[in-house]
Chains A and B, each alone.
Chain A
Amino acid sequence: MRVNTKIAGLVAALAVVSFAAQAAAPKKSDTLIEDYVAEPLPPGFQVIVTERDGPVFADAKGHTLYNWPHRGLRIGSAGDYAGKSACTDERVTVTGGHMEPYPPGLTVPNAENRPTCAQVWPPALADADAKPVGAWSVITRDDGRKQWAYRNQAVYTSFLDHGPGDVLGTTAAGPGGRAGGRNVVGPASNVPPVFTVNSTIRGRMLRADGRAMVYTWDKDQPNRSNCTAKCLNDWKPVYASALAESRGQFNVFEREPGIRQWAFRGRPLYTRAQLLGAPDLNDEGGDVPGWREVYVQTVLPPPKEFTQQDTITGIVLADKHGKTLYVYNCQEDTSDQLSCDYPEAVQDYRLAICGRGDPVRCQQQFPYVPAAKNAKSESGLWTVMWINPNTGRRAQEGQAGAMSVWAFRDRPVYTYEGDLEPGDIMGHQFGESEGLNNGYTAYFIKNVFFGRE
């Protein structure tokens, strides 16, 4: 189907508005920047180290690159098979029935103006004579155009990103912004094979052996472990094999003759021995005084007026009154799996859940978090936006009824009417599919028992 000019105009308008709202690329941490493994890139492509998602690939304009690997859904599947792109210029107007028990074939809201997958996720096109580079290959789209692929997965930009360092399309780290199985694409972290790095709300977290959180101890000295005897009942050194070699910011030292241990920036590394007793606990070791989780890169602090509150399962970010902050998640049940969680998307989903279609009820049940119009945050992940609370759409300063509110990753945040005391999380998972497909989830800084950060 040919692209409707109205949609093109909408996308263009969105680009202008969003770019203005972004103002500048997110600031990077001054003290901790993730080291990554450099690799050959297509002409003009680059690596940008972003605040929360670490190093990401970007095109010549600095637009973050994403992929959409094929995956099974509750019913059916969606995404790109290796070497192909399923994200086309076809406008999808009905549901796919991927989330039972509802059937397929229901006309989605605003169907006639709905953007296509390729408009929301513009393909990273390659020149007709482009040649493969390293792990990068060139695939041919159904319309004959060439597109870049990384490790055989087609790559795209997001129409929500408008400046270098923006990662607004999706994120691997909750909360907010999960977009139908899409992933940010970036180079490998420069860590020894025993470690992996995962994006979390607090930064790029180091893990050992696939899942164990890694810690340092305040009582250690550089390249000297003081954790011996009884300490070892609770903390397990991350041992280095005889053949292990120092790499990047990681080095090996001898804790005892012949016994080698990993260190990060000279700080000896450990996992929690008692994790073996309760494998589903997440970062319970971080509660022990003197022990700290390890990040290869940390995010900048959220707005100063926000607070942190203990809950029954971890720590949440809360407003200045102690009310838990929530993000809204939304994904359409369509074959292109487009998200509907941002102000420019159709608001019917959100209004149904928060107020049965009534915007006034929505504002009572999940009110926006007011922000002073000139409020600033050190972290580029937090901004102030103008919103029309009756429509949920982005507004301009000075428009009748517009209010300035806090936004995370360019999406408003909310509190919940049913939270009566600091630390209440009664609005968590309110909505379809535990709040992830059309609903709300709490902004967890640390979720000890359920690990969704």
Chain B
Amino acid sequence: MSLILKRALLATAVAGVLGTSVPAAAVSPGEQALKNRAISYVMTDSQWAVYQTPGGKDECPNGLSKWGPRERFKEMFPDRTPGKYSLKDTQIALEGSIWNPDTSPDTFEYILAGGTTSYGANLDGKVGPNDFTSPEGEKGIDNQLFRVIGCDDNMRGPNGTIYGVGGNYVRNVTFNRMIVELTNVDSLANDADVDVKITRGLDKLMTDSGGDRMLPGGTQRIDTRWAKKFTQTLKGKIVDGVLRTTPVPVLKMIDTRNRTPIEDLFRDGVLVLKVSSDYAEGVAAGYVDINRFYFNFNKEFNTFVQAYGRTDAHGMYKKMKELADAYPGKDGKNTAISGAVLMKFAQAFVEYPAKQVVKDDGAPSLKPAR
């Protein structure tokens, strides 16, 4: 039985008990959309999944990142006498090693995250010794990327610079207007076969008057040109209000957290979203290509941004390679690392570009086109 009908019956029953007339049941925008067996969501928040406990006591018992660019430089080149060191042997050598990383041993300690809990998905269908348990209790969560970034002060909310800047950009930059369009939907509670389309919108998010709370019911024009590369269709099912898509070889996600156009790739990628008529939230998960993640990260967040929270780019690459858990390259070493992105969505109505037809008088009329 649909949610709308249930509410209507309940309203009628209550009215009968109270001897009052039946008020019109409030119908949310999402419920309206579901009348056509379709509902769409627009992304309102996105962060690389970092599970946090107060003070990091569980996941970062040894503290947070220690050797950011400033600390590393000071340790390596402590003398501040002008002219003591050459730029070539110091700053640009360090930058060169960031942009041309290797797996040689690093003398600087890198703090890895631990603990038993992480966001993500069970990508390999197994429960292994290095796996986590999700906050909801699901075992076998594969998220080795969390170990690498989990104790990076920049990546932790609410005050981490990358966390804050990135979140802000996700909301305010239209490039990130990821749309998840569900069709063939009979129920958001349980549905064995749902079609999922991922694309991008072109409009601002709808917020409350304060600008912080994302509201359902906005409209998004669909980007049918620039989003072609990551427009993709998936299959999924909804069980107890959670949509889970069938893994795809490559799940593409648009992503910018600081003015750099980024396309993330999740191999064996899945979406796992708790869905309702107004909102959705969950994860995109998969095996993240290490080189792509690493270079995208550094393109977005330069050394001076990394310095704010002591991000250690040198160590990050080495640890990602060390903990990589999938897709061996020609040298037999894994090139991808399990990871996840936490996402939030608000229901939105989507509008595909109209096909213009010119009338005899020269003025155009617009016919909706799909």
A105 at the B interface (CB under 8 A): yes
B73:A102 contact, CB within 8 angstroms: yes
B84 at the A interface (CB under 8 A): yes
Asked whether A313 and B261 contact (CB < 8 A) given A101-B70, A353-B99, the answer is: yes
B95 in complex: contacting residue of A277, A314, A352, CB < 8 Å: A352
B96:A103 contact, CB within 8 angstroms: no
Once A and B bind, how many residue pairs between them come within 8 Å at the CB atom? 161
A261 at the B interface (CB under 8 A): no
B83 in complex: contacting residue of A107, A354, A433, CB < 8 Å: A107
A313→B262 CA distance, assembly (Å): 9
A196 at the B interface (CB under 8 A): no
Return chain B residues, CB-CB under 8 Å to A102. 69, 73, 90-91, 303
A105:B174 contact, CB within 8 angstroms: no
Interface string of A260-287 (1 = CB under 8 A from B): 0000000000000010011111001001
Asked whether A310 and B226 contact (CB < 8 A) given A74-B304, A278-B174, the answer is: yes
A426 at the B interface (CB under 8 A): yes
B57 at the A interface (CB under 8 A): no
Return chain B residues, CB-CB under 8 Å to A281. 174, 202
B86:A438 contact, CB within 8 angstroms: no
Interface string of A199-231 (1 = CB under 8 A from B): 000000000000000000001000000111111
B209 at the A interface (CB under 8 A): no
Minimal Cβ-Cβ distance residue in B for A229:
B363
A106→B70 CA distance, assembly (Å): 15
A430:B295 contact, CB within 8 angstroms: yes
B229:A312 contact, CB within 8 angstroms: yes
Minimal Cβ-Cβ distance residue in A for B71:
A101
Scan residues 5-43 of chain B and give those whose CB is less than 8 A from a CB of chain A: none
A423:B229 contact, CB within 8 angstroms: yes
Return chain B residues, CB-CB under 8 Å to A423. 229
Range for the number of chain A residues in contact with chain B = 35 or more
CB distance from A449 to the nearest CB of B (A): 4
A108→B83 CA distance, assembly (Å): 9
A94 at the B interface (CB under 8 A): yes
B81:A105 contact, CB within 8 angstroms: yes
A387 at the B interface (CB under 8 A): no
Scan residues 343-384 of chain A and give those whose CB is less than 8 A from a CB of chain B: 348-349, 351-357, 361, 365
B358:A312 contact, CB within 8 angstroms: no
B87:A353 contact, CB within 8 angstroms: no
A357→B259 CA distance, assembly (Å): 28
Asked whether A438 and B92 contact (CB < 8 A) given A226-B363, A428-B260, the answer is: yes
B93:A352 contact, CB within 8 angstroms: yes
Return chain B residues, CB-CB under 8 Å to A106. 85-87, 90-91
Q: Which residue numbers of A lie inside 8 Å of B, CB to CB? A: 74, 93-95, 99-109, 219, 226-231, 274, 277-281, 284, 287, 289-290, 310-314, 348-349, 351-357, 361, 365, 418, 423, 425-426, 428-435, 438-439, 448-450
Shortest Cβ-Cβ A-B pairs, 10 listed: A105-B82, A352-B96, A101-B70, A101-B307, A356-B100, A449-B175, A313-B261, A352-B92, A106-B87, A356-B96
Q: Which residue numbers of B lie inside 8 Å of A, CB to CB? A: 68-70, 73, 80-88, 90-93, 95-97, 99-100, 172-175, 202-204, 221, 225-230, 254, 256, 259-261, 263, 291-292, 295, 299-300, 302-304, 307, 356, 358, 361-366
Chosen A-B contacts, 9 in total, with CB atoms closer than 8 Å, are A105-B80, A105-B84, A106-B86, A109-B86, A310-B226, A312-B230, A428-B299, A429-B260, A450-B259
